[in-house]
Amino acid sequence: MHIPKYSQIVSPLYLVTRKKNDFHRGPEQQQAFVQIKQEIAHAVALGPVRTGPDVKNVLYSAAGNNGLSWSLWQKCARIGNPNCPGILEIITNWPEGENFGLTDEEEQEQVTHAEEPPPYNQLPAEETRYALFTDSSCRIVGMNRKWKAAVWSPTQQVAQATEGEGGSSQLAELKAVQLALDIAEREKWPKLCLYTDLWMVSSALWGWLEKWKKANWQCTGKPVWAADEWKDIATRVEKLPVKVRHVDAHVPKSRANEEHQNKEQVDQAAKIEVSKIDLDWQHKGELFLA
């Protein structure tokens, strides 16, 4: 299961885990608690955890000012290998013990997938104008769940964003991809180089879309999550050559390069501003509903 920006969401709750610490449950903590519950409900499974003598699983953990974070990685032949695609499912519909991965026959099938561009700082100068960084955010504001999707153009040094209500942070990521495609089509670009920190988007463009389309937008007999958005993206990438690269998020400044700096720009553009009034009304509203 993958929850984007997990550590940021739960950071207001971190102090409750520390011994001999006075924990105050205020509006900010209540908002974090509500949001992480909804993120878990909308989380996606990126694929089954594979085991065996030939499989290398690596569990990373890290501790910072805002608490702990962890991730499980599986070593593959290359990033975005279409033969290890995984599958998206809403976590609440995941029956215990069921494998949502593809069948052996499906995994052996070769598919057409998007190319991966080089790191932005290695991108040919004539192609940098066609590069866009994407990011999104989602949080509770007042009594509503809001999302924001943004793109950043390194050459133009400008960001563009779109906002809405309902949905999840994963859905907002798809809105960011659609926004990037809007810009590329409007400017009549001959190609698009996408840089994103979400494996879901990268993996879909690396191979999942073609499989879903052949299966009538179903997988293991179930409708593909966010099928309308994926169908729209699939139709548009057939007409516009798109390359996609996964970019690590929140890299320490000591290791950050030009690519990471651009990722930070779009991260800032995608943030949803929440006022103290919003937090107070959210808290009061929940007490009233309770």
H or E element that contains 105? helix 104-108
Distance CA 1, CA 10 (A): 16
Give the model's pLDDT for residue 54: 65
Give the model's pLDDT for residue 275: 53
**Full set of structural domains in the chain with CATH:** 6-289 (3.30.420.10)
Give the model's pLDDT for residue 148: 93
143: DSSP letter:
T
> Would the CA dihedral through 225, 227, 141, 272 be positive or negative?
positive
**What is the mean pLDDT of each successive set of 10 residues along the chain, which is 290 residues long?**
68 62 70 73 55 59 49 47 36 36 44 71 94 90 86 94 86 92 96 86 76 85 86 92 85 80 90 60 37
Give the model's pLDDT for residue 158: 94
Give the model's pLDDT for residue 282: 43
| 246 phi/psi in degrees, rounded to 5 | -85, 135
Give the model's pLDDT for residue 161: 94
pTM greater than 0.75 (yes/no): no
Distance CA 240, CA 50 (A): 35
> How many C-beta atoms lie closer than 10 Å to residue 97's C-beta?
5
Give the model's pLDDT for residue 101: 41
